[in-house]
Amino acid sequence: MGNLTYLKGVATLQMDEKKCTGCGMCIEVCPHHVFEMNVKNAMIINFDACMECGACRQNCPSGAISVQSGVGCAAAVIGSLLGRNGGECCCGPRTDETGAQKSGGCCS
């Protein structure tokens, strides 16, 4: 499988490299190879492949990773595959029933 990309620049993933201890757990649990080790710690190398599952955050013993799992377009895609209503991605412009643009949304 090649490099996966969801939507460029919309993931909520953040890493505090100062807190990272270099344990490598994020690399082990990430299904899309978002992380890689440098000399001392892990770093994000493929930000746009992050599907915001939260496995990296849950398994990081030093609390160096933050990601809002269950938000953004990854949640919309997964929800639609599970047959849930409201499976549309809210990262683009939103409109109401009259077609007027609305503010806010999960990515604002």
Q: pLDDT tens for residues 18-50?
A: 999 999 999 999 989 999 999 899 999 999 888
Whether the pLDDT of residue 105 is over 50: the answer is no
- What is the rounded average pLDDT of the residues 67-76? 67
Examine residue 2 and state whether it is found in any structural domain, yes or no: no
Examine residue 8 and state whether it is found in any structural domain, yes or no: no
62 class by beta-carbon count within 10 Å (0-12 exposed, 13-18 middle, 19+ buried)? middle
Examine residue 83 and state whether it is found in any structural domain, yes or no: yes
Largest Cα–Cα distance of the chain, in whole Å? Answer: 55
Are the C-beta atoms of 54 and 64 separated by less than 8 Å? no
Examine residue 3 and state whether it is found in any structural domain, yes or no: no
**Around Cβ 101, how many Cβ atoms within 10 Å?**
8
Domain around 33: 14-102
Share of the chain above pLDDT 70, in %: 60
pLDDT tier, 93 (very low <50, low <70, confident <90, very high otherwise): very low
CATH of residue 90: 3.30.70.20
Examine residue 4 and state whether it is found in any structural domain, yes or no: no
Number of domains in the chain: 1
Taking CA atoms, 31 is separated from 50, 51, 53, 95, in Å, by 9, 9, 9, 34
